[in-house]
Amino acid sequence: MIKPKAVKKGSTFGIVAPASRPNNDEALPKGKAAFEQLGFRTKVFPHVHDWHLGYLAGRDADRAADLNAAFADPEVDAIICVRGGYGCHRIIDKLDYDSIRKNPKLLIGYSDITALHVALGMYADLVTFHGPMISSEFAAGVSDFTRDNFLRAVSSTEALGALPADPQGPEPVTIRPGRAGGPLIGGNMALVTDLFGTPYEIDTTGKILLLEEIGDEPYQFDRVLQQLLLSGKAQAAAGIVIGQCADCEHVEGRSGYSRSAPLVEVVRDSFGGLNLPVLYNVPFGHIKNIWTLPIGVRATLDADAKTLSLDEPGVA
């Protein structure tokens, strides 16, 4: 895998919207200002504020053009996404992977950006970063935990080791004990499984599979777990790490079911029989305190100690 160059104060981040546009008119300037307070410069690409079909930041060709241009632009050192939302898998067949491979840069985002993590890893051999975004985190007031983890991940050329526990978050839960190592892969569950049957279907063999979701009822979450089992993707992984899945507990009236087991029981019922370590409820996903995770680098999961360690840096 190609590791992008580490960033430092004064580095220029290109701001792109490969999926949905900013949440509101204030989100981009507010998030941009907060991000620049970290000591970075920014360059906003042309189609960030475009609107297409009501939920996309412009037409597919324009969003892809912005991302291709950001990688090719010599003034840009790294790239950060405005937000997730929807639309990245509409542009992954329009990216210039040869140019990206020749101009490797740090790309950061999560949620719908999972499609870019998968595609860039497969076709540009590029390490990318599952982490905070301009509108989602920086405009909303990024937490110290998220900011510090982000800065360490994108600037340190040494292995970060065991990632810190969230002092304000829930205790991680060991679903299946054990210890395993392998490259990180995955991200948002819906995006990972939506790509099955396409040229962007992930290979989980020997890897640490990351999974997170937002807004699912437990039975909907279970549906995706079953897809991972029936496809053999779960069994092929070296280990599985599930984030803190926001708004995924049962809400009365949200579905046709009057009650549901807690999500942890659903995960244990589906993944508890796997012959590999599984850790649930760690700090990544659609939550306030998140790790920044370099997708593609080698990591070690210790489900007994409830830790995930980065065994190599994500940047060079």
Active site residues: 111, 212, 286
Please state, in angstroms and rounded to a whole number, the distance separating the CA atoms of residues 132 and 261: 31
Helix, strand, coil content of the chain in percent (nearest 5): 30, 20, 45
Give kind and range of the element (H or E) at residue 301. Answer: strand 298-302
Contacts for 37 with CB less than 8 Å, ≥ 6 apart:
none
Beta-bridge partner residues of 214: 246
Residue 21 in contact with residue 88, Cβ under 8 Å? Answer: no
Name the 3-class secondary structure at 202: coil
Please state, in angstroms and rounded to a whole number, the distance separating the CA atoms of residues 195 and 198: 6
Phi, psi of 154 (to 5 degrees): -95, -5
Encoded tokens for 232: 């053999």
Please state, in angstroms and rounded to a whole number, the distance separating the CA atoms of residues 306 and 282: 9
Q: Which residue intervals of the chain are DSSP H helices?
A: 27-36, 60-72, 97-102, 114-123, 144-155, 189-194, 218-230, 233-236, 263-271
In order, the DSSP letters of 175-193 are EE--EEEEEEEEEEHHHHH
The one-character DSSP state at 55 is T
**CA-CA distances (angstroms) from residue 316 to 27, 77, 121, 192, 291?**
31, 13, 16, 27, 19
Residue 76 in contact with residue 13, Cβ under 8 Å? Answer: yes
